[in-house]
A and B are shown apart, each in its own frame.
Chain A
Amino acid sequence: GDSVTQMEGPVTLSEEACLTINCTYTATGYPSLFWYVQYPGEGLQLLLKATKADDKGSNKGFEATYRKETTSFHLEKGSVQVSDSAVYFCALSDRPDSNYQLIWGAGTKLIIKP
């Protein structure tokens, strides 16, 4: 079945460092891909998404490119801030119908030190 694999955390970086969180997937067809962020004690928020190959999603300085050839959707940011500390989840949807849940990666905790 479909699945999402994320790099294990925690990932600890210093402020202003470059960030990459790897995400690869297996799916039949052409899924939509998402990154969600969960700040401490809160629910999840959509960070960015891409719905077809070569699309680049971007938001708040983060970006991820839908790579069909490598089945990847790595999250990147050029200069992280302490406020970016959170848990990041990669997810996919292989059905356009809204009545199906997303398929989730395990999440990667990001810790940014000042």
Chain B
Amino acid sequence: GAVVSQHPSRVICKSGTSVKIECRSLDFQATTMFWYRQFPKQSLMLMATSNEGSKATYEQGVEKDKFLINHASLTLSTLTVTSAHPEDSSFYICSARDSGRVGTEAFFGQGTRLTVV
């Protein structure tokens, strides 16, 4: 089945530094990928929709200058948390659906646990 690979699975960084998270679709093409943030014991909060070859669409309240998204190819989207602070610590998850098929489910990456110290 389709696989989405997310890397790294865990990262600890110092306040003020930037962290890049990669999301790859391994055996299908995805013109659109989605980035979610999940707080403890809560559901998924959509942060932004990543569009191949164009700017990402951010949800209300999400700072686009802080959470930089680049969708450089049909199989790769990256999320960069810039100037990270402890309040950015969270579980980040990407997902993608196969652009070549209709009505398919979303496939998820393994998630990235970000801890900012």
Q: Which residues of A are at the interface with B, using a C-beta cutoff of 8 A?
A: 32, 34, 36, 41-46, 49, 51, 89, 91, 93, 96-99, 101-102, 104-107, 109
Q: Which residues of B contact A32 (CB under 8 A)?
A: 103, 105
Q: Which residues of A contact B44 (CB under 8 A)?
A: 44, 89, 104, 107
Which residue of A44, A93, A105, A106 is within 8 Å of B108 (Cβ)?
A: A44
Which residue of A41, A96, A104 is within 8 Å of B43 (Cβ)?
A: A104
Looking at chain B's contact residues, the main secondary structure is loop
Q: Which residues of B are at the interface with A, using a C-beta cutoff of 8 A?
A: 6, 30-32, 34, 41-44, 46, 49, 93, 95, 97-99, 101-111, 113
A98/B43 in contact, CB under 8 A: no
Interface CB pairs A-B, < 8 A, 17: A34-B105, A36-B108, A43-B93, A44-B93, A46-B106, A89-B43, A96-B102, A98-B101, A98-B102, A98-B104, A99-B97, A99-B99, A101-B95, A107-B42, A107-B43, A107-B44, A109-B41
A46/B105 in contact, CB under 8 A: yes
- A100 to B: closest C-beta gap in Å: 8
List the 6 closest pairs (A to B, CB-CB), nearest first.
A98-B97, A99-B32, A43-B111, A43-B108, A44-B108, A96-B102
Q: Give the complex CA separation of A43 and B111 in angstroms.
A: 5
Which residue of B46, B49, B107 is within 8 Å of A46 (Cβ)?
A: B107
Q: Give the complex CA separation of A69 and B4 in angstroms.
A: 35
